[in-house]
Chain A
Amino acid sequence: MKSAAIIGVGQTGYRRSHPDKSSRELIWQAARLALEDAGVGIDGIDVILAGVAPDGLSGENSVERTGMLGRRKPFLRVNTGGVTGSSTVFAALSYINSGRAKAVLVVGLERMGQATSSQQVFNTIFDPIYEKDFPLTTITMAALRASMLMRLYGYTERHWAEIASRSFRNALRNPLAHLRKDISPEDVLASQLLAWPIHRFEACPMSEGACAMVIVAPEHVGDRRPAWVQGAASITDSYAMGDRIHRPGATLVDLLSLRLAAGKAYGQAGITRPRDELRVAELYSAFSSAEAMAYPALGFCAPEDGPAFVEAQFTDSRLPVFNPSGGPQGANPVSATAMVRIAECALQVRGLAGERQVADVERAVATGQGGATQFSTVCVLGRRPVH
């Protein structure tokens, strides 16, 4: 892969809803901040790519209109469910690596604050023929896996609560986060049980907001402080969760698509010891169990060592810092969430993450997970380009 660099990041900040802004205003605000950070005007941008996921969540059936910015430029809208945000970034990388663009503006928008029936919309993302008559939602889908992880590897409800609480507490240092409450593991366990073993405070919030970035070819970095894209890979898996139950070597709780994407991205970045070489991990973990499944897929520990790895994070300061922004627990603007993971990693390696800055971030990894994890993306960012 050729090099590309992120030189501008803009975020609106995330809330349950932004009743003071139209969708166009939200996306414009993030885009302006990103262009300002990059020190370029809209004239310096060759292509604009917008990521917006299920139209039903915004109730706007032509969000390609909403996402369109500028004039006289190529424009594409991307939609791959939960990985929409990272897919949009990866599409930008393809434009740059192929030489078809020198500078790309990517924008990710989530407008679900407009949806007053969002859980019903989420139910419609499942297969309408064999699945829609069951109470499948993002929450129950996570619960089906969490119970399997508990049975196979000894995770307890306490582990789920500790992961969620850690993310909430990290979000206290992120002024852009939607939920900024000091929620303890005990608070998580005491919150309403939604679908065993998932409690209310273990589920990510529903947030809206917009994220934007300016991504350029190496010769256009100029005097800006870049986050270099060292590796980026996107892999798919079978949608059917029931087909993965008995699959040798990659069951329902082994994130095959994430493992393969990590292998490719690490290969491009020259990473062989992820636990030592990555200082920050911004994971698309809408639930604690999703984070637990990501540890072995990203090479941080063996599956059976997962529970001990959760405990070690609180005592071993050499381990990577997980979700310093608070991750999806702090804010989950679905269409934008996977782009936010990359944006937060870019801020960390550029040293611009403010109060949530982790010291000496040479390299960081951002993940994206979409649908029934049939889509995964892994993006490695670093202070230096890979040669």
Chain B
Amino acid sequence: MKNDEFVTIPGNWNFNFNYFAGESASRFFRELRENRRIMGTRTQEGGRVLVPARAFDDETMEPTDDWVAVGPEGTLETFTIITAAFPGLPEPPLVMGYVTLDGADTALINFIHGVDLSDINAAAKSLSKLPRVKVEFIDNPQGRITDFSFRLV
């Protein structure tokens, strides 16, 4: 080895995990799979409707055990159009955005389908008008957040 040569030792992390979704997300996912509906939760005192469902409202630390169905339509709040490929992530171009479903007080993130992406700037301009969207389920819901996405109305 030359004196000015620096050694590089290859490494790799490839660990598997099972993430424990917890009580509220487990019910949220069951509702997706069995009833094809999006549920939010709120405090019994009539607090804000949190979507996706949460166990507690982090403003008040109170439990949110009042379950409310929201949607199936909603309004786009903000978005990005992903145009570059990132390793391990879906192929571009695609639109991702936050949507407030009717009856919800918070927005949730998902893909937005049905947008003409042949001209990215024109697509951005039209999405900036915050169009209405609707929930669209996949054919065989698995009880995962990927069971649905949004499509322009």
| A contact set with B: CB distance below 8 Å | 19-20, 56, 59, 114, 117, 119-120, 123, 128-131, 133-137, 139-140, 143-148, 150-151, 192-198, 200, 238, 240-243, 245-246, 252
Contacts and interface: CB of A to CB of B under 8 A. Distances in A.
Contacts of A245: 77-78, 98, 100, 106-107
B126 interface: no
A65 B105 CA distance: 45
A331 B51 CA distance: 37
A129 B19 contact: yes
Contacts of A147: 78-80, 124, 127-128
Contact of B8 (A19, A129, A131, A240): A19
B58 A133 contact: no
B45 interface: no
A160 B2 CA distance: 46
A195 B86 CA distance: 11
Nearest to A200: B84
B100 A123 contact: no
Contact of B25 (A20, A120, A130, A242): A130
Contacts of A148: 77-78
24 contacts: A129-B19, A130-B25, A130-B108, A131-B109, A133-B144, A133-B146, A134-B145, A144-B78, A144-B96, A144-B97, A147-B78, A192-B83, A195-B80, A195-B81, A196-B83, A196-B120, A196-B124, A197-B80, A240-B54, A240-B58, A243-B106, A243-B107, A245-B77, A246-B100
A18 B5 CA distance: 13
Contacts of A19: 6, 8
Contacts of B121: 196
Interface stretch (B65-73, B87-95, B133-141): B87-95
A246 B105 CA distance: 7
Contacts of B88: 117, 119-120, 123
Contacts of B120: 193, 196
Q: Which among A136, A140, A252 has the highest number of chain B CB atoms within 10 Å?
A: A140
Contacts of B100: 245-246
Contacts of B80: 140, 143-144, 146-147, 195-198
Interface string B51-62: 110100011000
B21 to A, nearest CB: 5
Contact of A145 (B21, B78, B106): B78
A161 B50 CA distance: 36
Contact of B50 (A114, A120, A243): A243
Given A143-B80, A246-B105, A252-B78, A197 B22 contact: no
A140 B93 CA distance: 13
A18 to B, nearest CB: 9
Q: Lowest 7 CB-CB distances: which A-B pairs, in order?
A: A143-B80, A242-B107, A196-B81, A148-B78, A135-B89, A245-B107, A128-B19
A246 B107 contact: yes
B89 A123 contact: yes
A121 to B, nearest CB: 9
B83 to A, nearest CB: 5
Nearest to B7: A19
A252 to B, nearest CB: 7
B111 A120 contact: no
Given A193-B83, A242-B107, A243-B50, A150 B98 contact: no
